A and B are shown apart, each in its own frame.
Chain A
Amino acid sequence: MFVLVEMVDTVRIPPWNFQSKLNEAISEELNKKLANKVVYNVGLCICLYDITKLEDSYIFPGDGASHTKVHFRYVVFHPFLDEILVGKIKYCSQEGVHVTMDFFDDILIPPESLQQPAKFDEAEQVWLWEYETDEGAHDLYMDQGEEIRFRVADELFVDTSPTGPATAAKETPAQPGQSTAPPAEERGEKKEPPYTLIGTICEPGLGLLSWWNS
């Protein structure tokens, strides 16, 4: 579930922090910069593990702060492919079952990866598993808050760094009769999570914990 990532960065310590020990000031700055943030293609950063190397600190003209190049290791949440994880069901929608792990929320189990046959109950907005036994079909509901065991099928990293102003769209001259609906507004409303996990529960042993506890 968690990995150690080796990184290098230049940390700026402002003069009003010069009274604290360098290591503590640097740890604080690194945690301020990275904790609870997603680094593209790396994962969700949790906290600083240790500082492996500190290079010399420099002060540049025009800025009273010190700049130090730091080599450090950070604890990152980055489950490997096919890893088994346990989370709680946040809610169900047409897109599938949304699972949360308290510190990480963007986990989706799409309908085709649910235990088959699966059906979406529109009235209660919940997915259920139509489990066949000799006695007949049981409907096993996937209710909110239930603990669920799933396998990591895929991961999606989206680069959410700010893009420049929309140049191409604005430069094409408006054709008569065509509405120039600003695309920027649509893009602004639809925010993609920077890191999403796609899960599957299509195997014996996966799904709600209560299904498999004898």
Chain B
Amino acid sequence: MEVKNANAAMLSNYEVFKLLTDLKEKRKDSGRNKHSVGQQNLNTITYETLKHLSNTPCSRQSPEIVKEFLTTMMPHKLTKAEKLQLLNHRPQTAVEIQLMVEESEERLSEEQIEELIQTVSDILPGDPEQQNVAPAEAEMDEGGEQS
């Protein structure tokens, strides 16, 4: 076996998530041979990787969202690796952005960092559980005042 190019392309978590989900669907239909000894490794790695990725923002993304995100990111002049990390992690605080963007104090002003956080929050879908907590608490407060 020969490795022609150990770094041909970088993949976002969403692309791997979609690939594994489609693979799982195809193998569910084939039925018989997926339990053979040889396929056990593929089953294990698929299951574990999907388990890990379903708890990350990539599980709520789609090709249109990724395209929109990358187009909006163009004017900020970030490197491919930085944009990939923003896409995979969906940072919501300035501290997180500073971790992922190299030399962020020199390259980005505070306003630009705020703008980045806003863009990331708007375009990339967040965790619906986390988003529902805040309005639910507001409802409970109102209920308490009324009674």
Contacts and interface: CB of A to CB of B under 8 A. Distances in A.
A4 B81 contact: no
Contact of A206 (B19, B33, B99): B99
Contacts of A7: 1-4
Contacts, number: 113
Interface in A97-156: 101-103, 149, 151
A22 B139 CA distance: 60
Interface string B46-69: 101101100010000000000000
A4 B9 contact: yes
Contacts of A203: 99
A83 B81 contact: yes
A49 B81 contact: no
Given A83-B85, A84-B89, A46 B8 contact: no
B4 A6 contact: yes
Interface residues of A, number: 40
Nearest to B34: A28
A47 interface: yes
B95 A205 contact: yes
Contacts of A103: 45, 48-49, 51-52
A-B interface, 10 closest residue pairs, ranked by CB to CB distance from nearest: A103-B48, A36-B45, A205-B95, A32-B38, A35-B42, A36-B41, A102-B52, A6-B5, A4-B9, A6-B4
Given A28-B33, A46-B46, 9 more contacts: A1-B13, A4-B8, A7-B2, A42-B3, A42-B6, A46-B49, A47-B46, A103-B45, A205-B93
